[in-house]
Chains A and B, each alone.
Chain A
């Protein structure tokens, strides 16, 4: 869908969807079928019990993102779609990272870094730690790069959740 020579950016889209079976399928199937590239997608309950919020990050040019929004809106189970302005959006991701800690020196290095990044050690075993870290994507990527030399065993990331700042709203009224 990307048109030639257009500038590609990362866009964040917030979608309020009906909280029922099959909705994630119809959304992800639409992305696949139209060839839109999702960078990350996260789904969870919203402020209203029967609605869920999806936060989708996608790479593309302006025209592509406009199409993504329209195609999302076209789905009957999608109730509201907003493009989030990065300047006025709080976005967070959570990652769990299991790191090798074969000796005490490495272990204390890992713990030090974790403190600097305001992360938490959430599991301790003889030869590994699990670190929980929250932040925007750049921060998490930076932390992962720091951990890499120690030997990362496993990573689980939630994908981005985002809300606009202040009185701006993506709420379904």
Chain B
């Protein structure tokens, strides 16, 4: 037991959890904590909007596999975090959000900058805590980190009334935590594993779909090993991109609304589908009633509520992806006899060729698929790519191949414009030695561009490639295809000159009108120690293809 203030206990507890960096913005209700941070060795990165603080913590978590931490004051500081918390929740990213709160005696009185952040974040956090007594802080922090980083990962919020930060108490940092209502299931049930193995052994056309859970549980080598034994092609969800290197012969790329032809066709044709760490989101399955019509589905997920939520699997397995894949593989190897799959696999290769054809560009100007392929050539394999939301995101997902887990970071479940840039900052802080590139749209980038200031001030150099089509491109695409070209509210008139914008912040700005100009600018950016924005004007008429119109089955895929 040591006597200290709540604020000091918080910072001490964070240190014990191994926290090295916090992304945040101070304010009245969290001042005592900032006073302790003033001479702590935890680095605090001052962001320019709390939403960015949350996204940066999220990017940090996804790139490193560790828990990211963000901090804000009460009221508007806390509510500004909300989008970032919701985003982390949808994508199961482990972050801790710490908010100041008005003093205990003022709670419920509508005091200045009081907001019910516990009420607001209950549906978008794994759980949240409001500190009632300073002495509880060490245990709450320990519990919060444990919950955020285990089971199905996700955000946890700790709300600290200002007077609990000042209150002195005897602090016990070694108290054991016990959570009667939280016991994640890691080990798969042997009977279920056996049933899955039976199905996989008999399968003629087995296919694996890997989601973000495979990356979260560091199960990529297990995934690849099983795929190679079975000779089963692997499609990924957006969140699963990177679970298998996309130049692997068995990799199909992403499936779904903007999936590759190969992924969508092969998944639909599977006779046994092994879905791991994914949740059958509508963006991945297309019309769910028409999904994988003749296949038996094995669904592995650590969150039992995902099983049966959107699709009823033939064999449910509640388990950690890594443990499940290991168990399936080791049982399968004992009995498995390689089957003749050459026709099936040559069909895979044929369908994959269609995708490669789509990268080839013709006509004037820079074509996004070709640009993505060029960026891939210019980047080392371990470089991290983040994306904004919209066409930029889907071009990156489709045409910028990912070779390693945790090197493709995108807002999947929430689809948050403005995520990519602050997430890139967080990823760069986590992995300072690899290049980090945000593939952006002009509309998304202006939602969080103010954090050019923090990236410059804190010397966190990232590269932002703005696919500048002067429209809210993805919305325009839907209006073009489904609303008779009635372009309602998508023209981004008044978009700034991104080169000048970058320069105004002390960053570097380039404009690239051709692939050659782009290559030169990008190389310079890679060698630079300051953030670079590359403005790439593209046509506002481009469509991201392939595309499955909403409500259709995955095979109803448009190529142009």
Which residues of A line the B interface, CB within 8 A? 17-18, 22, 25-26, 29-30, 33, 63, 66-67, 70-71, 73-80, 172
Contacts and interface: CB of A to CB of B under 8 A. Distances in A.
B108 to A, nearest CB: 12
Given A63-B308, A67-B308, A67-B309, A79 B181 contact: yes
A77 B127 contact: yes
B534 to A, nearest CB: 41
Given A18-B180, A63-B312, A172-B180, A76 B126 contact: yes
B122 interface: yes
A78 B312 CA distance: 25
A78 B181 CA distance: 5
B132 to A, nearest CB: 9
A70 B181 contact: no
B217 interface: no
Contact of B123 (A30, A67, A172): A30
Give the interface residue-count category, chain B: 10 to 19
21 contacts: A22-B118, A25-B119, A26-B122, A29-B122, A29-B123, A30-B123, A63-B308, A63-B312, A67-B305, A67-B308, A70-B305, A70-B307, A70-B308, A73-B305, A75-B181, A76-B126, A76-B179, A76-B182, A77-B127, A78-B181, A79-B180
Contacts of B312: 63
Contacts of B307: 70
A79 to B, nearest CB: 4
B133 interface: no
Nearest to A76: B127
Decide if the interface of chain B is mainly helix, strand, loop or mixed.
loop
Contacts of A74: 303-305
Given A63-B308, A67-B308, A77 B181 contact: yes
Contacts of A25: 119, 122
8 tightest Cβ-Cβ pairs between the two chains A and B: A70-B305, A76-B127, A79-B181, A79-B180, A76-B182, A74-B305, A78-B181, A70-B304
B385 interface: no
A76 B308 contact: no
Nearest to A17: B181
A70 B127 CA distance: 16
Residue from the set B118, B147, B181, B305 with the largest chain A CB neighbour count within 10 Å: B181
A30 B182 CA distance: 17
Contacts of A78: 181
Contacts of B304: 70, 73-74
Given A18-B180, A67-B305, A76 B122 contact: no
Contacts of A76: 126-127, 147, 179, 181-182
A66 B147 CA distance: 24
